Chains A and B, each alone.
Chain A
Amino acid sequence: MPTINEKLTEEIRTQAKALLADGTVAAVIGYSRGSLPMTVKPTVVRASEDCGKLVWNSFCVLNLANYLPEVLKSVEPPRGPRDPKPEGPLAKVAVLATGCWSRNIVVQTQEHQVDRDRVVVLGVASRGMVSRRKVEEQFAGREILAVEEFDHDLVIKGADFEEKINRWSVVRDNCQTCTRPDPVLVDVRIGEPASERKNPNPFQQVDKIEEKSSDERWAWFTSEFSTCIRCYACRNACPLCYCPTCFVDDAKPQWVGKSLDAVDTGLFHLLRAYHCAGRCTDCGACESVCPMGINMRMLTKKLNKDVLNLYGMEAGMQPASPLPLTTYATDDPQKFIVTEAKAVKEGE
């Protein structure tokens, strides 16, 4: 009996092959096998005969929407920066998308980074991606040489051990709290659709930090981000970060210091999170790619909570309306505005 992921892999290959063979798309963005256990390589396939290398498993932690704008550009005929857009329809690109990734494509469309008409979404319901770090922590001190995946278990193998663990127990935190595993955009359906998951409080992890006193919160923040090496993997793995020059790279003016000073590192993370407010789909790519294991997702998750509570909006769920932070309504909550009267009252 093939596993769920083996069946999905087969379906992805067949669909990708068909789309490339009949010229519907010029490229397919997917994943191919990685060189280490629990890794996969994001891959752009441009020839139908190469579709056999595409795979689908529980370790597809990077958000493929991240590659979409660039791959779309790559299939356009080459032109100079001042040349007009070529006439006629431009080539299309197919991309695999789960719930959160598809919501990121919605955001990219809202922000004019992606032309929806040029994208063929291969929609696949996510069963939750596994955190390689969680597995490695469980097997600390022992080297994992192979991981075999079954529908509900993972078999972890080393030189002198073989252990079966429950798959869900090592699924990433963001996937465990996710309520929308099914893609919101589907042009070609891969596998079966998934229904919404019940989760009375998807923000439980954030609440736990919010319940702390301000001193404890500060202690959490400084300790959590103290090991940051400023490699910017979190930023570069994020489909929301597409500025030609990021504020941390800007030298004129320089907004943030470049070294490992705690103030600079903290500022980078806070500003990065704020730039994602109202746009983040909690795909967890930032946290998954961090080489130092920092839980920077807690910052964006907190902002997701605020945007939901203040404006009733979730990124990628309202394709027709403007993004919450690019618009306003006269009855917007404005408790955060400090008026003279309020300041006096609080001072008393």
Chain B
Amino acid sequence: MKVFRLSQTELDNMVQGWSQNRRVYRPAAGRQQSTHADCAPGWERVAASTPLTLPPGPSKTSVKTFLFPQPETMQTYTLKSSDPDKGLMKEPQKATEKQIIVGLRPCDARSVKLNNLPFQEDPFYQVNLARTVMVGFTCSAMCATCFCDQMGGSPMGTEGLDIAISQVDGSFIAEVLTPVGEELTAEIRLTPAEDSEINALAERRKNSPQADFAKLDVLKGRDLNTLYKAALWQTLGESCINCGACTFNCPTCYCFDVQDEVVRGQGRRIRYWDSCMFPLYSLHTTGHNPRGQKMQRTRNRFMHKLKYFPERYGLFSCVGCGRCVKDCPVNIDIREVMSDLLAVE
């Protein structure tokens, strides 16, 4: 593994260099003003002359928007009777252009791998995964809303990243972790990090909070039906307003719905983000809704993340980024839900 040391200017030059012939995105500084039509809320295209500084904690919106775009065109078609291909579903040309995401945190990088479990055979996710390069920043400190360690990650973690950048004593140490990362760093002359710097980074990593699987193991051992019937859901469901602030900003919420949109005879079949908080999510065509009550929907979100997903894939569907904790209009805190669940016997 190659390790380089960069100054702020060198880092900025490197990132701006990439943006010359590729799409490079970074978390938007302050309230984003959309300058590029292709930008998702909370992100901006890297422009020359903007130095890369990141506030502590994860970006406002998660990285999932690049792998699981809102919306994604799945098929296109025409309904024009003059067209011989009328009604024929066609696959749109797949984007192959590389996109580089700079400034995501270890929690978000881990979410990409977690989402890849259910999306293993999803052609759209796989295409986006193959064309996305992730240049992450490790966290030298955890925010009050961060709990990545309790969910099996760590603030200095590199899982899922192509290049991991850590700030050590005023300069940046870049660890190149994958062949794609190597390709990107090969383009520029970079100073290799000294052994002392590599050791300092290793020391810091050793002293940072480590992935803890204790809660996962306890919850996995608990009876699903007992957790499902626990009294805590009633209180929680009563205060929840069933908006999608948590699910849409969550890096590991990956539910979608599919719909056709036709404008002037040209149609496209899109998939767009759906939320288990919405009544329509579980509505059957018969009119029956198995999750017709607010409480049932609130329960599903937490049971999915903390019980159903672990039972199926072995890990929590949560990376502990704390976005839902910060954004919830009624202060539903997944950490409190988790400790309440752990207390259910």
> Interface extent on B, as a size class?
35 or more
Return the contact of B239 from the options A41, A230, A245 (Cβ within 8 A): A41
Please state if A35 and B333 are interface contacts (CB–CB under 8 Å): yes
Given contacts A36-B326, A260-B70, A226 and B331 within 8 Å (CB-CB): no
Q: Mark A18-38, 1 if CB is under 8 A from B, else 0.
A: 000000000000000011100
What DSSP secondary structure best describes chain A's contact surface? loop
CA distance A66 to B239 in the complex (A): 10
- The chain A residue sitting closest to B40, CB to CB, is A260
Quick one: CB contact mask for A58-88 with B, threshold 8 Å, 1 for yes? Answer: 0000100011001100100000000000000
Check if B239 sits within 8 Å of A43, measured CB to CB. Answer: yes
Proximity bits, B41-53, A CB within 8 Å = 1, else 0: 1100000000000
Contact A233 B244 (CB under 8 A): yes
Within B139-158, the residues touching A (CB, 8 Å) are 143-145
Across-interface contacts of A227 in B (CB, < 8 A) = 31-32, 34, 41-42
A237 adjacent to B329 (CB under 8 Å): yes
Contact with A along B220-248 (1 / 0, CB 8 A): 00000000000000010011011111011
Q: Which of A36, A62, A66 has its CB near the most chain B CB atoms (within 10 A)?
A: A36
Among B249, B294, B330, contact of A291 (Cβ-Cβ < 8 Å)? B249
Which chain B residues border A66 with CB–CB below 8 Å?
Answer: 241
* Interface stretch (choices A9-17, A101-109, A251-259): A251-259
Minimal Cβ-Cβ distance residue in A for B30: A140
Q: Is the CB of B331 within 8 A of A289?
A: no
Do A289 and B239 touch (CB < 8 A)?
A: no
Contacts of A35 in B (CB 8 A): 325, 331, 333, 335-336
Q: Which residue of chain A has its CB nearest to the CB of B324?
A: A291
The docked-state distance in angstroms from the alpha carbon of A257 to that of B247 is 19
Query: Provided the pairs A143-B56, A227-B31 are in contact, do residues A44 and B144 lie with their beta carbons within 8 angstroms?
Result: no
B31 touches A293 (CB 8 A): yes
* A42 interface hit (Cβ, 8 Å): yes
Of A41, A71, A254, the most chain B CB neighbours within 10 A belong to A41
Contacts A143-B56, A143-B144, A227-B42; A289 near B279 (Cβ below 8 A): no
Q: What distance in Å separates the Cβ of B116 from its nearest Cβ neighbour in chain A?
A: 23
Interface residues of A (CB under 8 A from B): 34-36, 39-44, 62, 66-67, 70-71, 74, 140-141, 143, 145, 223, 226-233, 235-237, 245, 249, 251, 254, 257-260, 288-289, 291-293
